[in-house]
Structure 1
Amino acid sequence: MIGLAIAALCVIAPLLHLFLSKQPRTQHRVVRILLLYALVIGAGVMGFLFGFIPHVFFPDEAAKAIGWQPSPFQFEVGIHDGAWGILGFLCIWIGGTFWLATGLGWALFMLGATYGHIYQTVTHDNYAPYNFLMIFSDGFIALWLLGLLYLYWRQGGFAREA
């Protein structure tokens, strides 16, 4: 399941980066690297590559994998995912409160998506892989982002970059 792999990559990739880096692992640097990867992978990769592309270019296959019937709303969801995905990728070059806005917006969407997947599972017995398993990946990415945003804020990260 790609969603679970992306969620794991949000944690493993920055830890690998920190392990291989020769720069000191200060608390601020560790949280900053974890947050950057969460934004780029959790919002950028997940939103653009695995939200935008399937819903816009392969809507029938995407709907089937979620356990839905194809819908014209998929195009709108795909454009939405793509917009957030681009914001996630832009976090590579733009920092400061742009990270806060991107992270909060994407986390809110992912919490809503998590609720939707739980609702579909409980009320409609929808255990399709891209419905049921997304509960865990979407929920994790949202909570991971919110936790890292909080830690970064507590360390004065947004003020340092302003």
Structure 2
Amino acid sequence: MGVPLLGAIIHLFVSKKPRSLNRITELLLLWYLGVGIGVGSLFSGLVQVISPEIVAQSTGWGYSPFLREVGFANISYGILGLLAVRFRNFWAPAIIAYAVFMWGAAAGHIYEIQQNVNLSVGNAGTVLYLDILMPLFLIILLLVYQKTLKKDSSS
């Protein structure tokens, strides 16, 4: 998740627009929606659709045709993320859809850890933490953006 952060930082310093908390959150949102959710979810979804066996192996779960269905769900979040770069009214829906999916996935990972002691790289550790923290990070960014937008426009 370092690529969107690096992109936002470079964008901030190259941009001629004034730097403010609102501008910083705007760029973080654009980069995380476009690259993090958009490109990341498209890539993840394509892997799940094209090679679900690889995903099954990394998660420690058996192969299931549902992996392809999850792949198409990921592709839909990727498309939402990319559309959100162009259409700001897609920001909240993209973040909400992504949060619901990721927190549901986190609950599934936690269940697998508790019930089956599944500590596979695709089920526990970084994957689990990102499933929980990335949606929370994006929600906080969106709230800060909205609050600072109102503050900037009332000044």
Structure 2 CA distance, aligned partners of 1:148 and 1:19? 19
Structure 2 CA distance, aligned partners of 1:69 and 1:27? 46
The equivalent of 1:62 in structure 2 is 55
Say whether residues 1:155 and 2:148 are aligned partners: yes
Q: 1:101 is matched with which residue: 78, 93, 96?
A: 93
Structure 2 CA distance, aligned partners of 1:105 and 1:45? 16
**Post-superposition CA distance 1:30-76 (Å, at most 9, x none):** 111011111112211221102x1111000111110111111011111
Say whether residues 1:42 and 2:36 are aligned partners: yes
Say whether residues 1:21 and 2:19 are aligned partners: no
Q: What TM-score comes out, normalization by structure 1 length?
A: 0.84
- Structure number with greater Rg is 2
State the superposition RMSD in angstroms. 1.7
Q: Which runs of 4+ in 1 moved over 6 A?
A: none
Structure 2 CA distance, aligned partners of 1:107 and 1:156? 23
The equivalent of 2:116 in structure 1 is 124
Q: What TM-score comes out, normalization by structure 2 length?
A: 0.87
Q: Percent identity?
A: 33
Greater RCO (CA < 8 Å, at least 6 residues apart): 1
The equivalent of 2:25 in structure 1 is 31
Structure 1 CA distance, aligned partners of 2:145 and 2:15? 20
> Is the CA contact 1:48–1:82 (under 8 Å) kept in the aligned structure 2?
yes
SS in 2 for 1:85: helix
> Is the CA contact 1:53–1:78 (under 8 Å) kept in the aligned structure 2?
yes
Aligned residues: 150
Segments of structure 2 that go 5 or more residues without pairing to the other structure are none
Higher alpha-carbon deviation: 86-95 or 56-65: 86-95
